[in-house]
Chain A
Amino acid sequence: MTRYARLLVVQLRASLLLATQYRADFLIDGAIEILWTATALAPLLVAFQGRATIAGWSFGEALVVLGFFTLLQAVLEGAINPSLVAVVQHIRKGTLDFVLLKPADAQFLVSTARFYPWRSVNVVTAIVLFVIAFRAIGRTPTLADCALAFAFFVCSVTVLYSLWLLVVCTAFFAVKIDNASDLFNAVFDAARWPSSVFRGFVRFVVTFVVPLALMTTVPARALLGVIDVASIVGAVGGTIVVAVIARLVWTRSLAGYTSASS
């Protein structure tokens, strides 16, 4: 365990060193990320013109969901996406062999290979959104709610990572999945609104098939202090199931991997 912690530190340091070479990117990437957040905020501002709630959510509460969406996007762009996109490249070029030869868990190695710290500027944007949200609601969240929300956020990141890993595993079978990340982002975009705005079939999909509701609405409800026990059990159970499935599919895919040249 401590060995993997040490490995993580090494990988992080390598990424950080690389990132400090491109310091100007910090400003540019940061500005662009903030602009993208604005594109999510604009429809919300228009929708709440002259009304207090939408699908049972007030403006402040919906903003908390958007905050978690932004936070999750920062993690996705800064920590999950860069590494896993590299895996697809490895599989296509056959360089995955070099990773497999190393004396550590391959999933761990490929998942921590690359971080883009500059793309995580949205963490700050998310915090700003939370502050504005709770000023609009007119109270501050309790410490217990914050802790619970954080725990759920860890679940969200796990689910997001696992889903991404599943997408990557398809690269073992269908080699050209260049725009899989775009497709994934397109689906993930639906997580920006509270899940209750979706109805019928789409609601079923965002709850059970691609658990977007779990990723942003559940942590938001926890931070707002309105979560029930059933949701807690569902969220934790769901996270474990998704993570285990992803691990199983990864090991099975790896077992069938025959390198690019053979």
Chain B
Amino acid sequence: MLRDDLTRFRALLRIGLLEALAYRAQMLVWVLTSTMPLIMLALFGAVASEAPLGRYGQPQLVAYFLATFIVRQLTSSWVAWDINMEVRDGTLATRLLRPVHPLVGYAADGVAAMPLRLAVSIPVAAILLFTVGARELSSDPAIWLLWCVSIVGAWLISLFVSCAIGALAFTMESSIKVMDVWLATFLVFSGYLVPIDLFPARLRAVLDFLPFRYQIGLSVELMTGAHSRGDALALVGRQWVFVVLAAIVMLATWRRGIARFSAYGG
């Protein structure tokens, strides 16, 4: 049983990888659209050129925002858009016919895109090392191990939330607008636009209990060596609590939604 599942998942991965390769130009355009970290770097860089901003001088900011770019590349998920399209034009029906759960299929698509995303991230990482050097990055292997765990966790939160919001398309005309609201909130509070520790203390306390910072900020902070081993472990632990919560929400919305789905014209 498990072996069958593994074979199917491998097949899905292969299809996904070939698809990603076939549309590599489109993928590159997607990557080029993530200019936001650089735009933010320009603003905060100008600020830090006069006097450091909190614990951030110019090199620290360069490291922070390049790391942000890499983390976003490795953890983002666009499943909500796919589900919306497939629910609307009825192609979801073909996914339902396959011998694997559609959610597993979407996850496989995400994993399959990873090699190309990694290929894009590596040059950015090289630029990071070249411009600010290894000084601004963590040198502790244990932290880097936790970083790997945090990247998986961050990706899973994005994937699950994206699936959950996508599944709302079963009950509403288009759940893309819900995704828009989520995305805007996420951008501000995840550490993508502004390093979290620059926010006022009260707001930071609230953000600890929201999923956003565990999607970007945590991994970036681990990369740039902002946490000790103990703190890092505790934070990654909290992140995985959100992974589990997101999974529960996703399964619940999916089950409720799929019961209503009756293909297109069917």
Within 8 A of A (CB), among B11-62: 26, 29-30, 32-36, 38-40, 42-47, 50-51, 53
CB neighbours (8 Å) of B188 from chain A are: 38-39, 42
Question: Which of B35, B181, B194, B198 is within 8 Å of A32, CB to CB?
Answer: B181
**Pairwise interchain contact A186-B32, C-beta atoms closer than 8 A:** yes
Q: Is A229 an interface residue (CB 8 A)?
A: no
User: In the bound complex, what is the Cα–Cα distance between A49 and B195 (angstroms)?
Assistant: 14
Q: A42-B188, A182-B29, A190-B42 are in contact. Are A47 and B47 (CB under 8 A)?
A: yes
Interface bin, chain A: 35 or more
B32–A39 touching, CB < 8 Å: no
Would you call A26 an interface residue if the criterion is a C-beta within 8 Å of the partner chain's C-beta atoms? no
Q: Is A39 in contact with B43, judged by CB distance below 8 angstroms?
A: no
User: Taking the nearest CB of chain B, how far is it from the CB of A262, in angstroms?
Assistant: 26
Tell whether B3 is near chain A: CB-to-CB under 8 Å.
no
The 10 closest A-B pairs by CB, nearest first: A197-B46, A186-B33, A55-B46, A35-B184, A186-B35, A182-B33, A42-B188, A46-B194, A47-B47, A179-B29
Alpha-carbon distance between A185 and B44 when the two chains are bound, in angstroms: 21
B259 CB to closest chain A CB (Å) equals 26
**Cβ–Cβ < 8 Å partners of A44 in chain B:** 43
Residues 21-38 of chain A: 1 if any B CB is under 8 Å from the residue's CB, otherwise 0?
000000011011001101
Question: Are B42's CB and A202's CB within 8 A?
Answer: yes
Q: Which residues of B contact A (CB under 8 A)?
A: 26, 29-30, 32-36, 38-40, 42-47, 50-51, 53, 177, 180-181, 184-185, 187-188, 193-194, 198-199
CA distance A32 to B188 in the complex (A): 14
Q: Which residues of B sit under 8 angstroms from A179, Cβ to Cβ?
A: 26, 29-30, 33
Encoded as 1 (CB less than 8 Å from any B CB) or 0, chain A from 172 to 210 comes to 000010111011011101101100111100100000000
Is there an interface contact between A51 and B34, defined as CB atoms closer than 8 Å?
no
Distance between Cα atoms of A86 and B256 in the complex (Å) = 36
How near does chain A come to B50, taking the closest CB pair, in angstroms?
7
Contact of B184 among A36, A46, A180 (CB under 8 A): A36
> A186–B181 Cα gap in the complex (Å)?
18
Separation in Å of the A141 CB from the closest CB of chain B? 24
Contacts A/B (CB < 8 Å), 28 sampled: A32-B177, A35-B180, A35-B181, A36-B184, A38-B184, A38-B188, A39-B184, A43-B40, A43-B193, A44-B43, A46-B194, A49-B198, A51-B47, A51-B51, A54-B46, A55-B46, A179-B29, A182-B30, A183-B32, A183-B33, A185-B33, A186-B32, A186-B36, A187-B35, A189-B35, A193-B39, A193-B42, A199-B45
Using A180-B29, A197-B43 as known contacts, list a sample of 7 further A-B pairs with CB atoms less than 8 Å apart, ordered by residue number in A: A35-B185, A39-B187, A42-B193, A42-B194, A183-B33, A199-B42, A199-B45
Q: How far is the CB of A155 from chain B (nearest CB, A)?
A: 23
Residue of B26, B44, B184 with most chain A CB atoms under a 10 A cut-off:
B184
Residues in A with CB closer than 8 Å to B35 are: 186-187, 189-190
Which residues of B are found within 8 Å of A182, using beta-carbon distances? 29-30, 33
Select which of A32, A178, A189 is within 8 A of B39 by beta carbon: A189
Please, which residue of chain B has its CB at the minimum distance from the CB of A24?
B173
Query: Which residues of A sit under 8 angstroms from B32, Cβ to Cβ?
Result: 183, 186
Q: How far is the CA of A193 from the CA of B32 in the complex (A)?
A: 20
A178 and B53 contact, Cβ closer than 8 Å, known pairs A35-B184, A42-B193? no
Q: Provide the bound-state CA to CA distance between A49 and B44, in Å.
A: 12
**A193-B36 Cα distance, complex, nearest whole Å:** 12
Chain B residues lying within 8 Å of A176, measured Cβ to Cβ, are 26
Interchain CA distance A187-B40 in the complex, whole Å: 13
Residues of chain B contacted by A51 (CB below 8 angstroms)? 47, 50-51
CA distance A218 to B90 in the complex (A): 49
Do B198 and A46 have beta carbons less than 8 Å apart?
yes
Chain A residues with CB under 8 Å of B36's CB are 186, 189
Set A32, A42, A54, A183: member contacting B29, Cβ < 8 A: A183
Q: Which residue of B lies closest to A42 (CB)?
A: B188
Chain B neighbourhood of A36, CB < 8 A: 180, 184
Q: Which A residues are CB-close (under 8 A) to B180?
A: 32, 35-36
A186 touches B194 (CB 8 A): no
Shortest CB–CB separation between residue B51 and chain A, in angstroms?
A: 7
Minimum CB distance partner of A53 in chain B: B50
B33 A43 Cβ-Cβ under 8 A:
no
The answer for the CA separation of A199 and B45 in the assembled complex, in Å, is 10
In the complex, chain A residues whose CB is within 8 Å of the CB of B44: 43, 47
